[in-house]
Each structure stands twice: as structure tokens, then as C-alpha cells.
Amino acid sequence: MGAAGAAAAPAHAQAARPNVVFILADNVGYGDMGAYGGGELRGAPTPRTDQMAREGLRLTQFLVEPACTPSRAALMTGQYSIRNGLSLIIVPGTPATLSGKAFTMGDMFHAAGYATAIYGKWHLGSEPQSLPTAHGFDEFYGIPPDTSWDSAAYVDTIEMTHSIEAPPGALLAKGPHVVEATAGSALRQVKPYTLAVRAEIDNELTAKSIDFIKRQHAAGKPFFLYLPFSMAHFPNRPSKEFEGKSRIGNYGDKLMEGDFHVGQVLDTIKQLGIDNDTLVIFCSDNGPSAYMAHEFGNLGSTDFGNSGPFRGELGEVTEGSVRTFAFIRWPGHVAANTTSNAMFSIMDFLPTLAGVAGGKMPTDRPIDGVDQSDVLFGRSATGRREGLLSFIGPDLVAARWKQWRVYFTDIYPTGVGPQRAPGLGSASAPMAGYPKVFNIEMDPHEDRNVGAVFGWSAEGPLKEVEAYEKSLKGHPNPPAPNITVFRGE
């Protein structure tokens, strides 16, 4: 891979540009979905996405960034999140926000003549220049663009702790709201975003997505739909239809609900007769919140995802945090019932989709994603990526190269939750001397540091680091996000 490579995406011979539907789950683990060994065995059957796997391509080495905002920034820009100052989860009231100069997937599709929409969670900032409608999206409906799904509990937890003395009505009026916007317009508040709304919001987002698909099909216009819905971010509040459906509580109920909504979208595409004209992607932004259980409002049902054979959870840089599921379906183009173990980053989707859609990539900035269309169309078993870097805030903390995972900060193999490794709330520290090295094919759970045995294995990751550092000379990063170190004027 070239960390700083940037060029126009190559065109691919095909009859017409496809519609593209990108559905993004939230904090779902590698071992949660049926096609990856979860589903029924996890107490939460996922029949529709099991079917999607049989009808398309399943990636077994799909890699993301350590948390929600970083992964979404990487997806939208095709760059490491740190290049846009978004390598930590956005916290409202801090300067972290997507720059107006950023080039996004919405910009690419819009410039290519597509109708574009996002329904759900943006999480890249609420400043006017940061909104999806300032970055190529024609329509936006969803939760506040600088918060996540747990903001539905803000008013309840404020009242519970008596932190802000105000009448309930005043808190509700000032609290987070579901919002909407169209290109060129300001955000409009629709209704308070409460735990009751949280429970039913994926029904709304899916209904709006289906309506968008039908409208654009009737208009004869190619479309790009981005549906980042709430499956399965804490606090998981299933809709009435799915409450109690699984055998593992709210988390499982929400897995089953999300699976159902994916099926609704696929059914709509089939009913409209545009199956062969529509590329559908379904993946997760991060690994699971395995120990970050959110008990509030969950009646003791923990949000307990499954990383499969890998170790780690949301917020870390362990394999189980940054490796999750991905399905790609395009009948007649992407071979059915296929699996690829090619290393595929969430950043790779932008240049890959630009190639498929006839879009253009910028040449005035480093692009860390690579065109992986050869993987999609079965022309390459290995793809064009050999490595990947992982950042948390200002720090480069880990790297992947082939089957090797290398840590540049100390990693705690035991402990509770994210304190086990570099990540949110961790007690990790920079290491003096040598990095720690794990072979994730010999040792998927990363239990044994083998740096002393395979000393040469650090060369590949260090070359990835060198290429990244070289790219910074002409394109320095903006200030990294920070809410722990403060300096006076």
C-alpha cells in the first residue's frame, strides 16, 4: 500500500454505474453475525444477513479504526482519521470537527451525478462546514451530528444525578434532538431524542431509506444511500417488535432487529427490479463493546458483543477491536457465496467505490485507502494492502503488516475492559526499547509476544510508519484532538 498515494481512480468496464447502498452497524463484533459463527449460536439469529453472505462476498480481514468518529472519518475521507484531526470520539463542546476542506464519499458521489442521502449517525461534527449536507449529501435525517446513540440518555442521567437544576421540560427542550437538513439548509430540530425515540429510530431510518430508494428509482437517477443505523450501540433499546426476541437480552434483540432492517432494504431493491444494478455493503464501524456494558435503562441486560477468536473491544487497538464483519453484494458482478481474506481497510471503500461509480479522487492530499475492486470482482486473492496503522488521539499506537500486529505502547494482557490495551480509559504507557509483536494467525487472541523469535517481523510495520511519516512533510496533520492536556494563553 502507498500511505500517501493519491490519483484518479481507474474506471472499470461495466454496462452502467451501479446504485450504492452502504449500511453501517455500530460496535458489532466479528463473532456476532451468523456468517462469522455468531447468529443462532449467539442466541440472536441473523437470517437475512446470512443470506446476504451467501449471495455475495464476505470479508474476513476487514479492518477499521478504534472508535466511532475515527472509523467514520476514515470511511468518508479515505484517509487515516488523524489527517482530519478526528482520531478521538467527538465530544460536544470541543474543537474537534470535520473541516470544510475535507473530501468525502458524499462529495465523490455527488460530483459523479448521484442523488445522495444519509439517515442516522454522522458523528463528524455539528459545525455548518462539518455537516453531511456541506459534504455532498442532498438529504440528512438523524441524531445530532456531534453525538452518538447514547445521547438519548443525557436528559435522564442529568435528572438522575441532579447535575443541572432545571425543570424536566427545560432539560428536554435543550437536550439532544433528532435533526434534519437538505443541501444548503441549516439543521432543523424535529423532536427530542429520548430513550423512547432511541428504541424506534431504526424503524424511522429504514423507512426513510426505502422511500429515498423508491424516489430516486422513479426519477431514473443513480443513488448513493448511506444508512448508519443504531445496531448495536449502547444503550441498546430494541423496538417493540423485537423486544425479547433474542435469548441474550437487548444486545441480541438489536442484532436481530438490524438484520431485519437490512432485509427490508434488500427486499425493496429486489421488488423494484434493480438487484443487478445495486451494490450493497453492510459492515460495522468497530468491534464490540464487550465489557463497556451500559446498564442504564437496560434492566440488567448488558451490551455484550463478541469479538470471535480475537481479543479486544471498542476503543482499543487490539485485533478484536479493529477487525469486524463486512458483506458486499452485487448480483452479476460480485460472485455469490465467496470469501476473501485480503486485508481490506474501511478507508479502501472510497477509492474502490470511486472506481466503480466513475468518480474522481483528489490529488492534492494523501489518500491512505487503495482501490480494492480486484478483491470485489474476484481478480485478486490478496488485494493491494499489506499494512495498516492505528492511532489514538495524537499517538501512533499500533500497526498491522501481513499477519503481524505490532504495538508501540505497552499492552496489558489482563485487566478489565479497555484498560487491557491502548485505548479509551487505558492505563497503557509508551514502551522504551522494542515494540511488542503478535502473530494473529498463529495466535489470534494475541496471548504471546513473539518479537524475540521473529525479530525481522517489525521491518514491515516500520516501513508503513516510514511511508506515513514521509507523507507528513508535505501534508502535515492538523492538531490532534485532545481533552486532557490544557495550556493557558
Q: Which of 68, 217, 261, 283 is catalytic?
A: 68
Is the previous residue joined to 421 through a cis bond, with omega within 30 degrees of 0?
no
d(CA 143, CA 164): 22
Give Cα separations from 435 to 63, 66, 195, 307, 381 (angstroms).
Answer: 21, 19, 44, 24, 30
Give every CB contact of residue 345 below 8 A, 6+ residues apart in sequence.
62, 63, 64, 74, 368, 369, 370, 385, 388
Provide the grid cell at 431: 514502551
For the question of residue 217 being annotated catalytic, the response is no
Contact 194, 151 (CB under 8 A): no
123 is catalytic: yes
- The SS3 assignment for 453 reads coil
**Annotated active-site residue in 110, 123, 294, 333:** 123
Those residues whose C-beta lies under 8 Å from the C-beta of residue 477, and which sit 6 or more positions away, are 82, 83, 85
SS3 63: strand
Q: Cα separations (Å) of 419 from 57, 72, 238, 428, 440? A: 35, 23, 29, 7, 20
DSSP E strands, 194-239: 223-228
227: which strand partners? 23
Q: Where would I find the H helices in 47-153?
A: 47-54, 68-77, 105-111
Return d(Cα 267, Cα 327) in angstroms, integer.
16
Provide the residue type at 129 as one letter.
Q
Inter-residue contact 420 to 414 (CB < 8 Å): yes
Could you give the CA distance from residue 322 to residue 335 in angstroms, rounded to a whole number?
A: 26
Q: Are strands 177-182 and 395-401 parallel, antiparallel or unpaired?
A: unpaired
Contact 143, 201 (CB under 8 A): yes
Residue 12: is it exposed, middle or buried by C-beta count within 10 angstroms (0-12/13-18/19+)? middle
- Residue 156's identity, in one-letter code, is D
Task: Check if the beta carbon of residue 285 is closer than 8 Å to that of residue 72.
Answer: yes
Pairing of strands 436-439, 387-392: unpaired
Question: What values do phi and psi take at 39, rounded to 5?
Answer: 60, -120
Which residues are the active-site residues? 68, 123
